[in-house]
């Protein structure tokens, strides 16, 4: 396909411009700069891949591997520099077959003897005979599995000082042997030598030039003179070396990365080049969100005066409803969706909280601290994907399943029914954790949870109800990144001055979960609302407890 693409370029008017690449990312930049095709430069590969001279030190298979990487990274055709074909006609047969089968558009082989030395190096440049090279070309053409594959025959006659006549003679013989294009290489300091060649050349085979040593010659000028393909062979490599050399020196000297920030590609550019957004879309499409195990932390330390004497000898979470405590019901539900790493934070009447197979943490300061402090009592158990829930709520399994499917950094189960209650009856449950969402719901008598979860703008108990869109039910999921941010807030909160209000709390140590969530929102951590409609209850009062009995 790419071989055909290159053939089409040959039919187009004007020159075909190639730039050399030494790896996949430099090839991508060649493509983005608008070049027609990529030149896989043996000079560039030897330097970048091995930091060795361009002297047949890279094997055919090494060159093939890198050429394949480059080919996969770009949509434009790739022409690989295969030196002298790595040996005689038999080696050339294998080379051409492998490169053509790999989808490379074409290769160049030169008449330098094996092992070759880079054309630009001073010193001797031995060539094989015209007959030997013609045999290699015939072998390549007869063995090539793709008729569109381009075989560039390159003569080093000018490089080795054999002169114009020899260059013309060899070029003619190579065209005769079946070459699809002829590269006339020169290391003269001016384009005169190659221009003299085109003046005398009478053949029809397209000509290729590499203007490294005569950089003042423009593509336009070379094209006018008769060159169809112009290869800027090593400029990307040299640009990269100059950039790395200068910025590394400066970085070493200053010891602070900021000093070179303006001179290096932003991370976003690298992400974009390597396709991070496609990668994320694939992750979302093909990797189940639940693959990373979820830990759960049940916050059951608090004391609720309203519920005395019911909770005289046990905390709320141990209240029995039809023979099973709230905690037992929660743990059974969590296990039913595969969550087995379960932590419970105890405080008030802690000794009464018992449950096989869960891990306990203590908040001895439950009387004077907030829910956030209870959460942080679980310490290093707060790791990876983390579900956090109040110890006094009961909820439907589907709510839990929907929350676990959410891919946000922080996802809250938010009951939309609150909105309908408030709008129609002007009522809001005492002490409800209110949520202001980015998307205002429409009040209707029917409801279908939105597949998309909207952002949470504000959360707290003292928000203006007119702006609120739902109630946080006390069940939320943190992604691994969300949990990391939670720890960051904890560390910073611990060293913040005491006695200063923290969102709605009088201080950080008395903060509730909603204060932590508001802090996350303020820090631009994406907090999403997973919309639900009823299907849960909280046991905060006698009335709640009575209702729980009636409902279950
Ligand atoms: C290359 O880029 O590897 C070439 C061109 O073959 S030159 O380095 O000028 O020989
Ligand atoms: Mg080369």
The length of the chain is 552
Query: 13 CA to middle of ligand 2, Å?
Result: 27
- Of 240-244, 259-263, 418-422, 446-450, the one with minimum mean pLDDT is 446-450
- Of 133-147, 149-163, 309-323, 342-356, the one with minimum mean pLDDT is 309-323
How sure is the predictor about 552, in pLDDT bands with cuts at 50, 70 and 90? Answer: confident
% of the chain at pLDDT higher than 90: 85
Buried b (16+ CB within 10 A) or exposed e, 47-65: bbbeeeebebebebeebbe
Please identify which of the residues 54, 180, 420, 515 carries the catalytic annotation.
Answer: 54
Reference 432, options 453, 414, 408, 450; nearest CA is 414
Q: Are 44 and 233 in contact (CB under 8 A)?
A: yes
Mean local confidence (pLDDT), 350-367: 94
The pLDDT value given to residue 312: 80
Q: Are 119 and 233 in contact (CB under 8 A)?
A: no
Rounded to whole angstroms, the Cα distance separating 372 from 390 reads 11
The pLDDT value given to residue 254: 97
> Whose alpha carbon is nearest atom 7 of ligand 1?
119
Whether the predicted pLDDT of 447 surpasses 80: no
Q: Each residue of 112-130: pLDDT tens digit?
A: 999 999 999 999 999 999 9
Q: Each residue of 474-523: pLDDT tens digit?
A: 999 999 999 999 999 999 988 877 779 999 999 999 999 999 999 999 99
Task: Domain 2-234: give its CATH code.
Answer: 3.20.20.60
Mean local confidence (pLDDT), 462-477: 96
Q: Each residue of 18-47: pLDDT tens digit?
A: 999 999 999 999 999 999 999 999 999 999
Question: Rounded to the nearest 5°, which phi and psi values hold at 66?
Answer: -70, -40
**Ligand 1 neighbours by CB, cut-off 6 Å:** 20, 41-43, 54, 81, 118-120, 210, 212, 233-234
* SS3 assignment, position 405: helix
Whether the predicted pLDDT of 290 surpasses 70: no
Question: Rounded to the nearest 5°, which phi and psi values hold at 12?
Answer: -70, 155
Whether the predicted pLDDT of 441 surpasses 90: no
Nearby residues of 131 by Cβ (< 8 Å), 6 or more positions away: none
* SS3 assignment, position 479: coil
Mean local confidence (pLDDT), 296-302: 95
Q: Which residue has the tokens 């025959």?
A: 153
> Whose alpha carbon is nearest atom 2 of ligand 1?
41
Q: Are 517 and 410 in contact (CB under 8 A)?
A: yes
- On the 0-12 / 13-18 / 19+ scale of CB atoms within 10 A, 369 is buried
Token digits for 113? Answer: 């003897």
Query: 243 CA to middle of ligand 1, Å?
Result: 21
Across the chain, mean pLDDT equals 94
Whether the predicted pLDDT of 293 surpasses 80: yes
Mean local confidence (pLDDT), 449-460: 84
Nearby residues of 67 by Cβ (< 8 Å), 6 or more positions away: 40, 78, 80, 99, 102, 104
CATH 3.90.550.10 is right for the domain spanning 288-396+540-552: yes
Rounded to whole angstroms, the Cα distance separating 27 from 135 reads 32
Query: 482 CA to middle of ligand 2, Å?
Result: 51
How sure is the predictor about 539, in pLDDT bands with cuts at 50, 70 and 90? Answer: confident
Delimit the domains of the chain by residue range.
2-234, 288-396+540-552, 397-534
Confirm whether 54 is a catalytic residue. yes
The pLDDT value given to residue 311: 79
* SS3 assignment, position 77: coil
User: In this structure, which long-range contacts are made by residues 13-18, counting pairs with CB atoms below 8 Å and at least 24 apart in sequence?
Assistant: 14/223, 15/219, 15/220, 15/222, 15/223, 15/227, 15/228, 15/229, 15/230, 16/228, 16/229, 16/230, 17/219, 17/230, 17/232, 18/79, 18/229, 18/230, 18/231, 18/232
Rounded to whole angstroms, the Cα distance separating 275 from 15 reads 31
Nearby residues of 209 by Cβ (< 8 Å), 6 or more positions away: 183, 184, 185, 194, 222, 227, 229, 230, 231
Q: Each residue of 71-124: pLDDT tens digit?
A: 999 999 999 999 999 999 999 999 999 999 999 999 999 999 999 999 999 999
The pLDDT value given to residue 353: 92
Residue of 22, 37, 43, 83 to mutate, ligand 1, most atoms within 8 A of C-beta: 43
Nearby residues of 43 by Cβ (< 8 Å), 6 or more positions away: 20, 54, 81, 118, 120, 233, 234, 237
Q: Are 149 and 106 in contact (CB under 8 A)?
A: yes
Q: Are 540 and 431 in contact (CB under 8 A)?
A: yes
Whether the predicted pLDDT of 412 surpasses 60: yes
- Atom nearest to 39 CA in ligand 1: 2
């Amino acid at each position: 396909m790419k071989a055909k693409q290159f053939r089409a370029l040959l039919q187009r008017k004007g020159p075909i411009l190639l730039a050399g690449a030494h790896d996949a990312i430099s090839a991508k930049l060649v493509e983005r700069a608008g070049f027609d095709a990529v030149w896989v430069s043996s000079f560039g590969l030897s330097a970048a891949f091995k930091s060795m001279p361009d002297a047949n030190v890279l094997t055919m298979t090494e060159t093939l591997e890198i050429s394949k990487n480059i080919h996969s990274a770009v949509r434009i055709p790739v022409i690989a520099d295969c030196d002298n074909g790595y040996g005689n006609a038999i080696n050339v047969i294998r080379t051409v077959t492998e490169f053509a089968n790999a989808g490379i558009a074409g290769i160049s082989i030169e008449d330098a003897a094996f092992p070759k030395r880079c054309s630009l190096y001073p010193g001797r440049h031995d060539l094989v005979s015209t007959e030997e090279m013609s045999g290699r070309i015939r072998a390549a053409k007869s063995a090539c599995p793709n008729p569109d594959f381009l075989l560039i025959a390159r003569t080093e006659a000018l490089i080795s000082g054999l002169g114009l006549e020899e260059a013309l003679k060899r070029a003619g013989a190579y065209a005769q042997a079946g070459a699809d294009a002829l590269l006339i290489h020169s290391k003269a300091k001016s384009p005169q030598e190659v221009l003299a060649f085109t003046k005398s050349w009478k053949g029809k085979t397209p000509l290729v030039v590499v203007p490294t040593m005569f950089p003042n010659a423009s593509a336009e000028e070379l094209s006018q003179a008769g060159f169809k393909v112009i290869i800027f062979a090593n400029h990307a490599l040299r640009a990269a070396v100059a950039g790395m050399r200068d910025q590394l020196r400066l970085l070493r000297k200053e010891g602070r990365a900021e000093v070179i920030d303006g001179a290096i590609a932003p991370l976003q550019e690298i992400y974009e080049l390597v396709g991070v957004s496609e990668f994320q879309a694939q992750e979302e499409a093909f990797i189940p969100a639940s693959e990373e195990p979820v830990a759960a932390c049940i916050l059951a330390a608090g004391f609720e005066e309203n519920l005395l004497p019911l909770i005289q000898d046990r905390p709320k979470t141990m209240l029995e409803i039809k023979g099973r405590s709230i905690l037992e019901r929660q743990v059974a539900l969590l296990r039913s969706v595969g969550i087995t790493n379960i932590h419970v934070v105890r405080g008030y009447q802690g000794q009464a909280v018992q449950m096989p197979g869960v891990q306990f943490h203590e908040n001895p300061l439950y009387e004077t601290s907030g829910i956030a402090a209870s959460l942080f009592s679980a310490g290093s158990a707060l790791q990876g994907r983390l579900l956090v829930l109040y110890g006094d709520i009961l909820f439907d399994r589907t709510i839990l399943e929907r929350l676990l499917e959410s891919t946000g950094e922080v996802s809250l189960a938010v009951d939309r029914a609150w909105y309908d209650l408030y709008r129609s009856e002007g009522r809001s449950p005492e002490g409800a954790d209110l949520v202001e969402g980015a998307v205002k719901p429409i009040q209707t008598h029917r409801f279908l949870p939105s597949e998309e979860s909207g952002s949470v703008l504000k959360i707290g108990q003292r928000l203006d109800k007119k702006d609120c869109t739902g109630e946080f039910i006390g069940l939320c999921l943190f992604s691994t990144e969300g949990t990391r941010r939670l720890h960051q807030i904890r560390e910073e909160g611990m060293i913040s001055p005491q006695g200063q209000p923290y969102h709605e709390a009088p201080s950080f140590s008395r903060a509730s979960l909603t204060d932590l969530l508001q802090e996350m929102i303020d820090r631009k951590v994406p907090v999403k609302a997973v919309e639900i409609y009823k299907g849960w209850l909280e046991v905060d009062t006698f009335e709640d407890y009575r209702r729980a009995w009636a409902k279950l």
